[in-house]
Amino acid sequence: MKLDAFTLNDLYTWGAQLRLLVEALATLAFALSGVLAGARKRLDVVGVCVVACLAAFGGGTVRDLLLDRRPFFWVAQHELLWLVLIVSVLSMRLLRLRGRHHGLTERAILWPDAVGLGLFTASGVHYALVAQMPLLVAALMGVITGMFGGVLRDMVCNEVPVSLRDHRPYALLSFLGGWIYIACQYLTDWAAWVAIFACVFTTVGLRMLALWRDWRLPDWRA
Amino acid sequence: MKLDAFTLNDLYTWGAQLRLLVEALATLAFALSGVLAGARKRLDVVGVCVVACLAAFGGGTVRDLLLDRRPFFWVAQHELLWLVLIVSVLSMRLLRLRGRHHGLTERAILWPDAVGLGLFTASGVHYALVAQMPLLVAALMGVITGMFGGVLRDMVCNEVPVSLRDHRPYALLSFLGGWIYIACQYLTDWAAWVAIFACVFTTVGLRMLALWRDWRLPDWRA
Amino acid sequence: MKLDAFTLNDLYTWGAQLRLLVEALATLAFALSGVLAGARKRLDVVGVCVVACLAAFGGGTVRDLLLDRRPFFWVAQHELLWLVLIVSVLSMRLLRLRGRHHGLTERAILWPDAVGLGLFTASGVHYALVAQMPLLVAALMGVITGMFGGVLRDMVCNEVPVSLRDHRPYALLSFLGGWIYIACQYLTDWAAWVAIFACVFTTVGLRMLALWRDWRLPDWRA
């Protein structure tokens, strides 16, 4: 009886729950990068929460503003807001207890951050194509969704955004992943989820490869 | 004859005019904080006006953008725009004559600024509830309306926003006031203005108490 | 036969193409100012492209967000996006080869930048009047369109925006040009293009005069 009930419908539900879980993880990774940035600037608890929210929700909010989409995703899923606020306060407490592990945390955060970049890129391209944007705009919307959370986080912390001066490929991989999404969509007749998966795997895989092999973009001193 | 005419309608008109007066005062207080910030950075007259406008109208504009409300309140009441521009130029002249009183002005500005915080919080929560936002989003919309004018003012002046690193409760009180608004609205059957008054009085009162008793949020060095 | 075909329609087409050419030039001038700002901060190729796009499209995007106009002009004319991206990468290569000519480029850029300011001002005022904004808001929308690209460029580069602290008239001339547009529209019964030309010529001419004669706004040290 129980085995009979294991139908495609269940699989779909499992898939949706898995997606939600991964999305929540990606949002949390971005939020955690905000907490670390706030801690480095010695902000108070309000500052840490604001920077964490900007990092986690900034990119998607800019995307939704530009595409004129309502409700915002953090309104439709306001559980994420609670999650980010609570995790920010808790991790701030934790950081205060053991401040010497910042470096470790920072390196550990690069992996979920890469997953976040891939997922946010795919969502940006997806919604832009749904809104009938030109292809270049769709690819850029993926980049904006993936990188503008970090840009806003660094701007409010009074830093030049790390993704603009890091010389390690980040937004460029998101741009590439966006074009792969578009290519899958327009050049093949595969299902929609193939495009999403190809985009996410390209972006995340290349980002991890770039971190592992320490790839660098050409610098000013040639 | 004149006394007969003193009806509820007159009272309503008086109330509306009082509200307009207080709102104008709060906007001016925020604008003045922008003038002071611009003067400290030695901006020119255009810079001072831009920073004053960002401080005065920034929070409400972000709120209206996020809630998709048009026209903006500074379009509907563009007299406020004239007022802020004229007051900015005049107070800039005044500051140039007597630059040594900056400190005095800064302390004096904290009181109308507290009133502004309370009023802006109430307006943010109110419009968010009208737009059927979830409760947490409504409370945060109050905080955004109250604090983002100052955040934009400090960002354009190339500073870490003072409300994020000050360790004196500001946005936190606005958050608390927002929840009190929501509680009054949902747990009681009192009139709508009770919720507004409770929110404003809580926020303003606690802010003044916090300034007077020099309350501090926990810092990083425990 | 060929001469016969030279009709008003052709003239109109020529005019539209001329306008497009000048607009593209103005956008490129703003983009180039972004490339120079990014080069000075030693950003990577992504950073330079982001700053160039913010400088070129930021003002118009803020205008369109505030006036609730869609599609954005860089969506409707996404050839401009390609142009800005390609020119950014190419001019970055060029700058790397001959870094010592920055100063020269910076002065050379002031002239197309002035043209850009005039054109962007006229477009801001035009769309605001079409959207039935109050006159002051329309004049300010011209200023916002003209100056906010540069403001965003400098904010993301972690500088106090140059247009706020330069003491050379820039936004003020755009404000003046905006009022001239409005005056032509409301006080005369001349054709619409007269207002546009008067606004652009006033702004650009005064800006060039101001640069040539080195006009200064009053400074804080009286």
CB–CB contact A165 C44 (8 Å): yes
Question: B-chain residues within 8 Å CB-CB of C151?
Answer: 50, 156
Task: Name the residue in chain A with its Cα closest to that of C96.
Answer: A220
pLDDT recorded at residue A15: 65
Contact A30/A149 with Cβ under 8 angstroms? Answer: yes
Helix (H, G, I), strand (E, B) or coil at A167: coil
Whether A151 sits inside 8 A of C156 (CB atoms) is: yes
- Binning pLDDT at 50, 70 and 90, where does residue B100 land? low
Helix axes A135-156, C79-97, angle to 10 degrees: 60
* ipTM reported for the complex, 2 dp: 0.88
Separation CA A32–CA B70 (nearest Å): 35
Q: Which residues of C touch B96 (CB under 8 A)?
A: 220, 222
> Would you say how long chain A is, in residues?
222
A166 neighbourhood in chain C, CB within 8 Å = 44
CA A12/CA A6 separation, integer angstroms: 11
| pLDDT above 80 for C135 | yes
Instruction: Spell out the alpha helix ranges (H) of chain B.
Output: 8-40, 45-67, 73-76, 79-97, 102-130, 135-156, 162-165, 171-187, 192-213
Structural tokens at position A24: 């929540």
**CA–CA separation, A177 and C28 (whole Å):** 27
Residue B21: C-alpha distances to residues B56, B79, C42, C75 (Å): 15, 12, 49, 43
Residue B7's pLDDT band, with cuts at 50, 70 and 90, is: low
How far, in Å, CA of A21 to CA of A77, rounded?
13
Residue B8 scores a pLDDT above 60: no
Mean pLDDT value across residues B26-35 = 89
Helix axes A135-156, A45-67, angle to 10 degrees: 160
Positions of chain A with pLDDT under 70: 1-15, 97-105, 221-222
Between helices C135-156 and B135-156, what is the axis angle to 10°? 80
Q: Please tell me the distance from the alpha carbon of residue C58 to that of residue A59, in angstroms, as a whole number.
A: 16
The whole-chain average pLDDT of chain A stands at 86
Average pLDDT over residues B58-77: 92
Portion 51-90 of A in contact with B at CB < 8 A: 51, 61, 65, 70, 72, 74-75, 78, 81-82
Q: How far is C102 from chain B (nearest CA, A)?
A: 24
Collect all residues with Cβ–Cβ distance below 8 Å to B48 and sequence separation of at least 6: B34, B35, B38, B39, B88, B89, B92
pLDDT of residue B17: 74
Per-domain residue ranges of chain C: 8-213
Distance (Å) from the C-alpha of residue B18 to the closest C-alpha of chain A?
32
Mutation pick from A46, A61, A73, A93 vs chain B, by most beta carbons of B within 10 Å, is A46
Question: Subunits with at least 3 CB pairs below 8 A relative to chain A?
Answer: B, C
The residue that leads in pLDDT, B169 or A220, is B169
- C66 contacts in chain B (CB < 8 Å): 61, 72
**pLDDT for position A101:** 57
User: Closest partner residue to C41 among A134, A137, A165, by Cβ?
Assistant: A165
Phi, psi (deg, nearest 5) at residue B79: -60, -35
Chain A: nearest CA to C201, how far in angstroms?
A: 32
Angle of CA points A14, A16, A21, to nearest 5°:
90
How high is the pLDDT of residue C156?
Answer: 96
Window 100-119 of A, Cβ < 8 Å to C: none
Residues from chain B that touch C207, judged by Cβ atoms under 8 A, are: none
Rg, chain B, Cα only: 18
More confident residue, C40 or C144: C144
B contacts of C65 (beta carbons < 8 Å): 65
Sorting pLDDT into bands at 50, 70 and 90, what band is C25? Answer: confident
Residue B83 pLDDT more than 70? yes
Lowest mean pLDDT of A123-127, B26-30, C107-111, name the range.
Answer: C107-111
Collect all residues of chain C within an 8 Å Cβ-Cβ radius of residue A219.
Answer: 42, 44
Q: What is the pLDDT confidence band of residue B142, given thresholds at 50, 70 and 90?
A: very high
**Percent of chain B at pLDDT above 90?**
53
Residues from chain C that touch B97, judged by Cβ atoms under 8 A, are 222
Q: What is the pLDDT of residue C191?
A: 76
List the end-to-end C-alpha distance of chain B, in Å, as a whole number: 68
Output phi, psi for B163, to 5 deg: -75, -10
Cis (ω within 30 of 0) for the bond into A169?
A: no
Percent over 70 (pLDDT), chain C? 88
The pLDDT value given to residue A104: 62
C198: its two tokens = 């008067």
Are B177 and B199 in contact, with CB atoms under 8 Å apart? yes
Structure tokens at C215: 């006009």
* B79-83, C73-77, C104-108: range with lowest mean pLDDT: C104-108
Encode pLDDT of A186-217 as tens digits: 888 777 778 888 999 999 999 999 999 989 88
Chain A 128-147, residues with CB within 8 Å of chain C CB atoms: 133-134, 136-137, 140
**Count H helices, E strands: chain A?**
9, 0
Question: Is residue C2's pLDDT more than 60?
Answer: no
Which residues are CB-contacts of B89 (< 8 A; sequence separation ≥ 6)? B45, B48, B49
Helical H runs in chain C?
Answer: 8-40, 45-67, 73-76, 79-97, 102-130, 135-156, 162-165, 171-187, 192-213
Of B47, B72, B97, which is closest to C164 when you measure between CB atoms?
Answer: B47
Say whether pLDDT at C177 is over 80. yes
Candidates B65, B170, B220; nearest CB to A42: B220
Give the gap in angstroms from C-alpha B65 to the nearest C-alpha of chain C: 8
